[in-house]
């Protein structure tokens, strides 16, 4: 695996490779890697000829500076995991490399509704930060396919919007959420959970499963409230337990029994904020 710290070197390398490798796959991450990240690498290896992974803990997407400071960094272990997964290239830029003072990127992106709802509402500025880094990374790597996790459902929608806003031709491939054996969605933040909270965290998955098994056409307000009450009773601070149209993210209070819908939950245990989601319809 080749490791690049500088954009210029990576681009030169990719330019040479592009004539040999017909398809380049890209997996952007913030490190503290787990099997969920590796499932993206695996997909990229299956669908493309050269897999580039990036690790960059993007300060611009942390609305809470304390969350940024506490974000786990496990670089040596990450490199070992990427090697064992057969990653071809690791891009490891620093903040100065990604955000030089002089640049010609937009200062903000037209994200409209996505910035007003769910993660957009609870983490002001977060998706602007995601677009700030993703726009740069997508232009640097110029991949054929970028692989991202359904775990961050709304982020995938925002990146899709970024692709259409910028006209970047990279295709977005959304990879299903990888879960621990008990159902908890794998996340770098899980490392910060104490033993007791780690056991409690699985109730987010149970709340999603309950919503799925009890969903019926008609009024769904009670179903959402029951999920939030269930998690509150288990000791979570619940930001939301919502049902939304899976294509538009429009929140719903009634379901017509036909539209494709997704349940989304964000809830914290002792300041560790967890998000998860599940398609309610196939």
**What residue ranges bind ligand AMP (CB under 6 A)?**
29-30, 36-37, 39-40, 148-149, 151-152, 175, 177-178, 185-188
> In Å, what is the CA distance from 139 to each residue of 9, 18, 144?
14, 15, 11
170 vs 177 by CB, closer to ligand AMP: 177
Please check whether residue 278 is in contact with residue 263, taking contact to mean a CB–CB distance below 8 angstroms: yes
Please classify residue 226 by burial: count the beta carbons closer than 10 Å to its beta carbon, then call 0-12 exposed, 13-18 middle and 19+ buried: middle
29 vs 200 by CB, closer to ligand AMP: 29
Task: Tell how many helices (H) and how many strands (E) occur in the chain.
Answer: 10, 11
Token digits for 259? Answer: 């539209």
Tell me the chain's radius of gyration from C-alpha atoms: 19
Please check whether residue 109 is in contact with residue 128, taking contact to mean a CB–CB distance below 8 angstroms: yes
Contacts with 159 (C-beta within 8 Å, 6 or more apart), sequence order: 130, 131, 134, 146, 148, 172
Q: How far is the CB of 122 from ligand AMP (least distance, A)?
A: 17
Q: How far is the CB of 14 from ligand AMP (least distance, A)?
A: 20
Q: How many residues does the chain have?
A: 282
Token digits for 130? Answer: 């995601």
> Has 37 been annotated as catalytic?
yes
Q: How far is the CB of 120 from ligand AMP (least distance, A)?
A: 16
Q: How far is the CB of 180 from ligand AMP (least distance, A)?
A: 9
Q: How far is the CB of 148 from ligand AMP (least distance, A)?
A: 4
Please check whether residue 278 is in contact with residue 262, taking contact to mean a CB–CB distance below 8 angstroms: yes
Token digits for 69? Answer: 């400071």
Q: How far is the CB of 102 from ligand AMP (least distance, A)?
A: 27
26 vs 255 by CB, closer to ligand AMP: 26
151 vs 224 by CB, closer to ligand AMP: 151
Please give the full DSSP string across 161-190, using - where no structure is assigned.
Answer: HHHHHHT--PEEEEEPPPB-TTSPBP-GGG
Token digits for 73? Answer: 């960094």
39 vs 48 by CB, closer to ligand AMP: 39
In which region does residue 249 sit, left (phi positive, over 0), alpha (psi from -120 to 50) or beta (all else)?
left
Degrees to nearest 5, angle at CA 93 with 91 and 95: 155
Catalytic one of 37, 126, 135, 247: 37
157 vs 223 by CB, closer to ligand AMP: 157
Which of the residues are catalytic? 37
């Amino acid at each position: 695996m080749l490791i690049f710290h500088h954009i210029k070197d990576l681009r030169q390398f990719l330019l040479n490779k592009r004539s040999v490798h017909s398809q380049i796959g890209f997996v952007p991450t913030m490190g503290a890697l787990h099997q969920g990240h590796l499932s993206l690498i695996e997909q990229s290896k299956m669908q493309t000829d050269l897999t580039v992974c990036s690790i960059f803990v993007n300060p611009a997407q942390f609305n809470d500076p304390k969350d940024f400071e506490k974000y786990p960094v496990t670089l040596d272990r990450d490199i070992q995991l990427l090697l064992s997964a057969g990653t071809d290239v690791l891009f490891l830029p620093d903040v100065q490399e990604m955000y030089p003072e002089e640049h010609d990127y937009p200062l903000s992106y037209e994200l409209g509704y996505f910035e007003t709802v769910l993660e957009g509402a609870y983490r002001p500025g977060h998706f602007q930060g995601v677009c700030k880094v993703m726009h740069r990374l997508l232009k640097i790597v110029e991949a054929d396919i970028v692989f991202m996790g359904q775990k961050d459902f709304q982020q995938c929608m925002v990146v899709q919007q970024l692709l259409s806003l910028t006209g970047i031709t990279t295709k977005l491939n959304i990879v299903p959420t990888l879960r621990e054996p008990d159902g908890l969605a794998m996340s770098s933040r899980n490392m910060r959970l104490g033993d007791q909270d780690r056991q409690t965290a699985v109730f987010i998955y149970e709340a999603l499963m309950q919503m799925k098994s009890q969903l019926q056409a008609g009024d769904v307000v009670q179903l959402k409230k029951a999920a939030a009450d269930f998690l509150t009773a288990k000791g979570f601070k619940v930001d939301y337990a919502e049902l939304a149209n899976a294509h538009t993210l429009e929140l719903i209070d009634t379901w017509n029994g036909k539209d494709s819908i997704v349940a989304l939950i964000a809830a914290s245990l002792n300041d560790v904020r967890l998000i998860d989601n599940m398609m309610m319809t196939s």
